[in-house]
Structure 1
Amino acid sequence: MNRPVVVAHVSDLHLGAHDPAAVASLAADVAAARPDLTVVTGDLTMRARTAEFRQVRALLETLPEPRLTVLGNHDLPLVSWRRLFLPYHRWQTWIDADPQPVRHAAGITALGLTSMPRWRWKNGRVDARHAAAVVRILGGAPAGDLRVLALHHPPLATGTARLFGARRLLDAVRAARVDLVLAGHTHLPDVRVRGRHVFVVAGTATSRRTRGAACSWSLISADRGEVVVRERYLGPGGWHTGRVVSAVSAAVSSGR
């Protein structure tokens, strides 16, 4: 491509415990960036209720396409018979029936993983099937494509927030030459570079649970070995660019 590849990274909407001003203005701000792909990394609802999924569906339909959306821990029923027998039913009905969605856009191959098994409450887990999908799908992406992996739980998190199976997943990321790994969960924006891979955690886009930071989403552009992450924050005057992080990655190139 003759221009940067642009990805809008939105996460942790938590509709049902949201800031109405953020919900009302988010889609227009994302659309103004004209992304090639919009990625939403989980916790779209607060308690996985039908009314919340209905709100989520309405909001998602206003975000630019193509979209890749993955499930978070809040998108499963908390404590009910549904958690045991139909944990993903509402997600599959309202959002996406595919637990490993794939999207192809101009210059992009993207894969989403469901990192939240029903028998865990908060921490995520990835297994050998997830790792195999990363190698098969992203490792087989067309030459020159930006290879994007999306999941809710950050693979580089440590301590109580760690992702079980992270080492296996990171091995697959290396083998598949993934360029961008996108996650959420913490509500705090973060950008890290590990070798040739750039890891981006988006903040919460619309939740009231901001954990000391304003509502935000991440605008990512990649071109010729450089990834630039612009964090968009909601302030009294609307959305504005806050921190800008430039990350050099040998993997990211229109000519690879």
Structure 2
Amino acid sequence: MNAGPARPPLVIAHLSDLHIGAHLPQVARTLVDDVSAAAPALLVVTGDCTMRARTSQFSQARAVLERLPVPRLVVTGNHDIPLLTLGRLVAPYARYRSWIDAELDPRLDLPGVRALGLQTMPRWRWKSGRVSGEQSALVEDFLGSAPVGALRLLAVHHPPSAGGLARMLGRAALMRAAAAARVDIVLAGHTHVPAVRAIDLPSGHQLAEVVAGTATSTRLRGVPRSWNVIRVDAAHIRVEQRYEIAGEWRTGRVVSVERGAGRPLRTLC
């Protein structure tokens, strides 16, 4: 019996750490063109849209986001709340909610993917992240009830794998919830260094953690500005890191993760 043609892969664009206010405007313009050329079914931005959470920076960040493809899911980063003002105490997310998204833990249901974003930057933490018990329960409830075969995607600013002083508070509960919900992929930013890791959970479930570098800012950490094109089919998650070099976006490292427990990473180029 003929099963028919293979379904085309699901394409997800993953950006992070725009840091508008410490960015290169010409790079932001070419980024929009490069992302649009990938024709993603979903755009995910994992925080730090602004450099110092100023109104003017949020206005510019919104202008950039509105030129990028939709639908999109955006979460806050540590730079998206005021640094040393009364606003950090009384209304830390007011500007973000006004300019970017009123929902701090956004959810999307699309053909082939169920996506959840978590706000991991409480006002009382300075740089590193935290996930609450309620947020972990949301992961289990919302992503765990995704349709069979749908990609279960979690977006946060802080990579769950980070250790030391950058370790996320509530990580253990979050990973238990991710295992119970059979989350396929976690998207993050914060480090400005692109990375792909396979995380084996005690339950035997494996998820892919994909970190995006800074897309448009001058705050480099030894690697070029970058963003990720993620292509997902029934068997694989393929991550293409797009680097900005000499004013052009080029394919850098490409990594494939097989969907399923205990499968190794493969670097394709």
5+ residue gaps, structure 1, are 252-256
Within the candidate set 174, 188, 191, 2:193 is matched to 188
Residue aligning to 1:151: 156
| Corresponding residue SS for 2:244 | strand
1:219 aligned to 2:211?
no
In structure 2, the partner of 1:89 is 94
What SS class does the counterpart of residue 191 from structure 2 fall into? coil
Deviation at 1:237, TM superposition (A): 4.8
Alignment match, 1:170: 175
Supply the AA of the counterpart residue of 1:58.
A
For 2:171 and 2:14, the matched residues in 1 are separated by: 21
Residue ranges of structure 2 left out of the alignment (5+ in a row): 1-5, 201-205, 262-269
1:65 aligns with 2:75: no
TM-score by length of 2: 0.91
Q: Residue in 2 aligned with 1:230?
A: 240
Q: CA RMSD in A?
A: 1.0
- 1:28-79 deviations in Å (ceiling 9; x for gaps): 1001011110000000000000000000000000111100000000000000
CA contact (8 A) 1:22 1:215 kept: no
Bigger radius of gyration: 2
Determine if contact 1:70/1:151 at 8 Å carries over to the other structure: yes
CA distance in 2 between counterparts of 1:173 and 1:41 reads 18
CA distance in 2, matches of 1:86, 1:38: 27
Superimposed CA distance per residue, residues 116-142 of structure 1 (whole angstroms, 9 cap, x where no aligned partner): 001111011001011000001100111
CA distance in 1, matches of 2:7, 2:254: 22
Deviation at 1:225, TM superposition (A): 1.7
Q: Counterpart in 2 of 1:107?
A: 112
Give the one of 134, 150, 166 matched to 2:139.
134
State the alpha-carbon separation in 1 of the partners of residues 129 and 120 from structure 2: 5
Tell me the number of residue pairs that the alignment of Structure 1 and Structure 2 aligns. 251
Aligned to 1:21, the other structure's residue is in SS state helix
* 2:186 aligned counterpart, secondary structure: strand
Mapped partners of 2:34, 2:52: distance in 1 = 26
**TM-score of the superposition, structure 1-length normalised?**
0.96
User: Whole-Å Cα distance in 1 between the matches of residues 165 and 259 of structure 2?
Assistant: 29
Give the AA of the match of 1:102: R
Q: Which runs of 4+ in 1 moved over 2 A?
A: none
CA distance in 1, matches of 2:215, 2:138: 28
